[in-house]
Chain A
Amino acid sequence: MALSVTRRAGWWTARRRDHLLGYLFIGPQLAGSLLFVFLPLGLVLTYSLNEWNVLADTFTFVGADNYRRLLNDPNMASVLTATGLFSVGLVVLNLALALLLAVLLNQRLRGTTVFRTLFFSPVVVSLVAWTIVWGFLLQNNGGINAILAAAGIEGPNWLRSGSWATVSVIVVQVFKNVGLNMVLFLAALQGVPKDLYEAARLDGASAWTRFRRITLPMISPTVLLTSIITVAGSLQVFAQIAVLTQGGPGTSTTVLVYYLYQQAFQFHHFGYGATLSVLLFVIVLALTLLQWRMRRRWVFHEA
């Protein structure tokens, strides 16, 4: 501090110094964003206007051809349906389960810390390791069906029959990440003033009414946050599908992000793959904006 005071003469003012310090602090983050977010984004847009044949080493400008192809792609209907089903299932199950766990673990009971740790622990497990182990469990002759068989139930072929495969991938993903939303909900729940509950109880409100009328509105900012994160995340689920189903059976789990991987990296249509990732970007952006706009309708404090 003292040093800068003596140097104040000339253009090197305290104001300038503070600015420089500020830029230094955001510099690494800014550089990272420019290099790893905005530059690739620009490149993807460029690629989407070109056809890039890696093996023949040709890069040809094709204008809107890739976008025209997108509109006429016979696989698009099934890909978007799978993506929609997958996202809706994942978001609903994830948020509902996270909230339920948070409410249960918000009780002042012995051992809740153990359970909180237990439910959160999958979040820190390596995603691929987690998925591979679940892949073994979900095999037709795997652990889950063995347990079901012991109880006299013949389990479905989890990863091989159309609708079960989608459900399986969703559940594996929800179990992996529900802990994160649970912790966010827990923090929000603990921020709800206790006197509100007390007042409600004195007025004779039932547990459900207290939850519906006090808890939900009070934690609604967190619900907004978690739903934005979870919706965006659900559209980017890739590793689970690559490991568990590779888009099958049929095309039932070929969601948009997996389809774009196939097009770009397996079929070598890098230009078309880039076009599909532009579509994915637009969808995620639109959904996020929509949720942000809607917040005035249902988020407490925002009205």
Chain B
Amino acid sequence: MRTKVTALGLAGTLALAACGSSAEPQGGPVTLRMTIWTGNEAHLKLFGDIAAAYRKTHPDVTVKYDTLPVETYTTTLTTQIAGGNTPDLAWIFENSAPDFVGSGALVPLDTLVKPEELAPSTTRLWQKDGALYAYPFSTSPFGVFVNTDLLKKAGQSVPAKGWTWEEAVKIASAVQEKTGKAGLVVRDFDYKGWDNLAAVWGGWGAEAWSEDGRTCGFDKPEMIEAMGFLHKAIFTGKAMPAPGTTADFFAGEAGMTITQISRASLLQDGAFGWDLVTLPTGPKGAYSVIGQAGIGVLKKSRNAEAAADFLAFFTNPENSAKLAQYFPPPRQPLLTADSLAKSNPLLKPEQLQDVVVDGIAAGRVKPSHTGQAELSQAVRAGLDQLWQPDADVATVMKGVCAAIQPMLAK
């Protein structure tokens, strides 16, 4: 009995000791840890290959990729940092970019290879005082994937570049009515991830807040018009699944979906015919929206220098070209339909040109702001009232601004 108790006590002490030590001493062999949110085997294999190539010239550096669940990625990352278990490198979503870049949590990246190649539209979010704090390794424009089989069944013709939102809703309603499947799904929105709606309201020239981030945009006329249109499409036109109803385009449950082109990999099974088109035009004409992800080196890392050196290798032109098959690169020489076509066999050159190349050049990044999580929560809570059939759009939108304006003005 006593030995058992002692053994238990020992095990507990060991477990605690293991929690305490996280970083290796400097000098000698170094293990770099990069937190990522993809668990995709093909992605991990490519990252592993890049790390193995780096090891050839840096035999004492090992890189460990640590996949964190995507839904709670930022929360897990910051909790790790708070707990003293800081990764050396981390992927960062565009919505937490202002927090990470602005707070000084990252070290400036001044050893990148050929930084002049980076497209200005892709680096804006990651810069402060002229320095770049994260490498925008994935710049993924929003487009519309179309299930051509379902559209045919509903007697609708497949849309093409230049189509309008009116047409989009008409097609979606018809799909819903004739096939019983969902019409158009804004992926990852699900009446919570409202920042994905930027891919809709962009057509009206609306924005969540002003460029300087100090004025709320939800109660502006163009936003009220855009949200009114969306509300009607959901509750009157039945063009989009109602709140609490799920439909997965990639499982063949919807006629169309608005999402980032990096999701094209979900199509590989070839279960149905599909096409990719640009976002429909709104009253303000054509527009494009991009989602971004950056990789930064954490200041609290004990191996920050080694980490920055690996990052420079990971993102050099040669490796960027390899990464481009999954993550649209920020390097301008790679951003041509021809070079992208090499690594994206699923997409046709004109799709790559219209959606990816033009999209990145002209795209607005999804809304992001310092303290985004708190703002996002307040907007979500306010918008919940909009997702009722009898909601008064203008009143709800005024309420959203009343809730977030004090936070924006801070």
- Which residues on A are within 8 Å of B, measured CB to CB? 24-25, 27-28, 31-32, 35, 52-57, 139-141, 157-161, 246-251, 262, 265-268, 270
What string of 1s and 0s marks CB contacts (under 8 Å) between B294-309 and chain A?
0000011000000000
Chain A residues within 8 Å of B246, by CB = 139, 141
Q: Are A56 and B105 in contact (CB under 8 A)?
A: yes
Interface presence of B103 (CB below 8 A): yes
Interface residues of B in 208-243 (CB under 8 A from A): 242-243
Interface residues of B in 381-404 (CB under 8 A from A): 381-382, 384-385, 387-388
**Complex Cα–Cα for A140 and B242 (A):** 8
Interface presence of B78 (CB below 8 A): yes
Chain B residues within 8 Å of chain A by Cβ, number? 36
Q: Are B78 and A55 in contact (CB under 8 A)?
A: yes
Closest B residue, CB atoms, query A254? B381
Which of these, A27, A157, A267, contacts B244 with CB under 8 Å?
A: A157
Closest A residue, CB atoms, query B403? A74
Among all A-B residue pairs, the 5 with the closest Cβ atoms: A140-B244, A55-B103, A249-B384, A55-B105, A56-B103
Q: Are B192 and A28 in contact (CB under 8 A)?
A: no
Closest B residue, CB atoms, query A156? B244
List, sorted by A's number, 22 A–B pairs whose CB atoms are closer than 8 Å: A24-B2, A25-B5, A27-B9, A28-B5, A28-B9, A32-B12, A54-B78, A55-B100, A56-B103, A139-B244, A140-B245, A157-B242, A160-B243, A248-B192, A249-B385, A250-B381, A250-B384, A262-B377, A265-B78, A265-B79, A267-B371, A267-B373
Chain B residues within 8 Å of A139, by CB = 244-246
Q: Are B5 and A141 in contact (CB under 8 A)?
A: no
- With A250-B381, A250-B384, A268-B373 given, can you name 5 additional A-B contacts, CB distance below 8 Å? A35-B16, A140-B243, A160-B191, A248-B384, A270-B82
Q: Are A54 and B81 in contact (CB under 8 A)?
A: yes
- Which residues on B are within 8 Å of A, measured CB to CB? 2, 5, 8-9, 12, 16, 75, 78-79, 81-82, 99-100, 103-105, 191-192, 242-246, 299-300, 371, 373-374, 377, 380-382, 384-385, 387-388
Chain B residues within 8 Å of A53, by CB = 103
Closest B residue, CB atoms, query A252? B384
Q: Are A160 and B387 in contact (CB under 8 A)?
A: yes
Chain B residues within 8 Å of A31, by CB = 9, 12
Q: Are A250 and B385 in contact (CB under 8 A)?
A: yes
Q: Are A28 and B8 in contact (CB under 8 A)?
A: yes
**Complex Cα–Cα for A270 and B381 (A):** 22
B166 to chain A, nearest CB (A): 27
B231 to chain A, nearest CB (A): 15
